[in-house]
Amino acid sequence: MLVLGKLPGLEGDRKSGQDVRTQNVMACMAIANVVKSSLGPVGLDKMLVDDIGDTTVTNDGATILNLLEVDHPAGKVLVDLAQLQDKEVGDGTTSVVILAAELLRRANELVNMKIHPTSIISGFRLAQKEAIKYVNEKLSTKVDKLGRDALINVAKTSMSSKILNINSDFFAAMAVDSVMSVKTVNSSGDVRYPVKAINVLKAHGKSSQESRRIAGYALNCTRASQAMPTVVNKAKIALLDYDLRKYKMSLGVQVVVTDPSKLQAIRDREEDIMKERIDLLIKAGANVILTSKGIDDLCLKWLVQAGAIGVRRVKKDDLRRIAKVTGGTIMLSMAGMEGEESFDPSMLGQADKVYEERVGDNELIVIEGCANQKSGSILLRGPNEYTLDEMERALHDAMCVVKRVLESNEVVPGGGAVEAALSIYLENFAHTLGSREQMAIAEFAQALLVIPKTLAVNAACDATELVAKLRADHYHSQQEKDAGKFKEKSCSGLNLRTGVIHNCLQAGVLEPTMSKTKSIAFATEAAVTILRIDDMIRIDKTEDERANM
């Protein structure tokens, strides 16, 4: 036990130097080994069961790491790394974790060889800079030259390791069409494809191939009353974040009534307050009312009489998206600055049509022809909850990848081609340096090969032989005397179905350039962050804190 500082009662333990570094590396390797077998088109799934028995079946790296509930501080860095990759790109979460752990392992070996961590860090940073530069200049291809087929192939590559692999043609086309349908141009002239404007709904029953796109924004809700109309044309939508129920006094407010005749007057006034609020909405022109809270029977009666559709218990996220695509504003209250109640018609969202549609055992509310932005929805069908959840994750990754390709307009070959090419390039680059960073860059180059090696192992192929052939192809394509003759070899990657090397660009195995550059940058940053740690101090809880737990 080490007493830290001179503060009374502040006790804990401290690990320093190589001990803490080895412990951190082991923790990161353990996490990477969990997701390693799920990499690639023939990767396997994980079944994760939480403390209350909820089961998740997935091979999405970010989802697996989220559900692992990692306690180790260095391990948490890798979990955050996967989440960052998921947020920035949407795909490549497994490979970025495997790469970061391999970089750490090799860096730790260099430290054991008495090379200072500072030299390793500067070497890694230099290697990262050169690798990203080489990917952008030599390996990247413009999508304009490849056309729509490139977008379909990018989506299929993303889905190849997921549950949608069997029907990848069908779902890749759906992902591309959905992303293209929400194309928007902002005020500065930039073209954007907001994936959040595509709502993914799930319904049990039928086969996955009976999933379909719905024109418009669909909600997993139903009309609050069967007496309401099923279709409203030229819809004006009120978006409310408060209750449409009989008005009641707030908690803690007491009303003392001495005259029994006044009691009925109070009850009547409570009803009148709600009637006035509904009238304000109807007079403003609202014929569709969506609220995140409840609507009671009294309010339903008035909405039915007005011929409006009322929908209750709409998710807050859905309300925000509908507000964005219809040009409406979410109202938290009708009260003005002076306390008087009013409803401004400019707060209403607009759409061409709002209707209810029956799907399986449930109904959907569909908002079609939104005024502000285009929107779309996808209805997924499948046999059970686990399958539908995994289908949603796979489709979301594919749509994010298509969005990134459309916005950046650049793709690179997949199948380990980029990592093999960078490995050869960085090895040659390391030989040109006469400084201590040479060994760090050489190890960085070797670490990149963990991706093609893992892909080959997961496909039950001879990883050593395949990676050797792959490196030979890229070596010839980068040699000046062979560059013209072996130009097509620069796109050589692994065909994991047949266990041979092929041209990934021609075979349509494509990934966004952004996915590769970001994963290299993020993995390097994570490895450097953990490598910089040489002291871990853990403070013990005091007796008072233990007693209060």
pLDDT in tens, 99-151: 999 999 999 999 988 888 899 999 999 999 999 999 998 888 888 776 788 88
Selecting among 45, 91, 397, 473, the annotated active-site residue is 397
pLDDT of residue 339: 66
DSSP bridge partners of 355: 231, 366
The per-residue DSSP string of 442-497 comes to HHHHHHHTHHHHHHHHHTTS-HHHHHHHHHHHHHHHHSTTTTTTTGGGGGEEEETT
Helix axes 417-431, 437-448, angle to 10 degrees: 160
What is the rounded CA–CA span in Å between residue 375 and residue 393?
19
Residue 272 carries which side chain, given as an amino acid letter? D
**Residue 528 and residue 28 in contact, taking contact as beta carbons nearer than 8 Å:** no
Selecting among 63, 93, 157, 524, the annotated active-site residue is 93
- Look up tokens 């590769």; give the residue: 516
C-alpha to C-alpha distance for 485 and 490, rounded to whole angstroms: 11
Indicate the domain borders of the chain.
Answer: 1-16+534-549, 217-374
Burial 465-496 (b: 16+ CB within 10 A, else e): ebbeebbbbbbbbbeeeeeeebeebbbbbbbb
Q: What is the pLDDT of residue 360?
A: 75
Helices and strands, number each (H, E), in the chain: 18, 22
Predicted confidence (pLDDT) per residue in 483-518, tens digit: 666 667 778 888 888 888 888 888 888 899 988 999
Question: Do 214 and 304 form a contact (C-beta atoms < 8 A)?
Answer: no
Please check the confidence at residue 9 and state whether its pLDDT lies above 70: no
Residue-wise pLDDT for 273-323, tens only, equals: 788 888 888 888 889 999 998 888 888 888 898 889 999 999 888 898 888
Sequence-ordered list of residues with C-beta below 8 angstroms from that of 197, at least 6 positions apart, any chain: 182, 184, 217, 321, 324, 325, 373, 374, 375, 376
CA 162/CA 28 separation, integer angstroms: 24
Task: Name the percent of the chain lying above pLDDT 70.
Answer: 93
Task: Give the per-residue pLDDT at 7.
Answer: 45
Burial (Cβ within 10 Å: 0-12, 13-18, ≥19) of residue 94: buried
Q: Is the pLDDT of residue 434 over 70?
A: yes
DSSP 8-state symbol, 333: -
Among 101, 61, 54, 57, smallest CA distance to 77 is for 101
How much is the pLDDT for 414?
86
**Annotated catalytic, 397?**
yes
Active-site residue, from 45, 60, 86, 473? 60
pLDDT digits (tens, 9 = 90+) for 515-534: 899 999 999 999 999 888 88
93 tagged catalytic: yes
Confidence of residue 542 (pLDDT cuts 50, 70, 90): low
d(CA 381, CA 212): 8
Under CATH, to which class is 217-374 assigned?
A: alpha beta
The structure tokens listed for 503 are: 């041209």
pLDDT at 544: 62
Residue-wise pLDDT for 223-269, tens only, equals: 888 889 999 999 999 999 888 877 666 666 777 877 777 777 777 77
Percent of the chain with pLDDT over 90: 22
* Degrees to nearest 5, angle at CA 259 with 257 and 265: 75
pLDDT at 6: 45
d(CA 264, CA 231): 38
Which two tokens mark 149?
């087929």
Q: Measure CA 116 to chain center.
A: 37
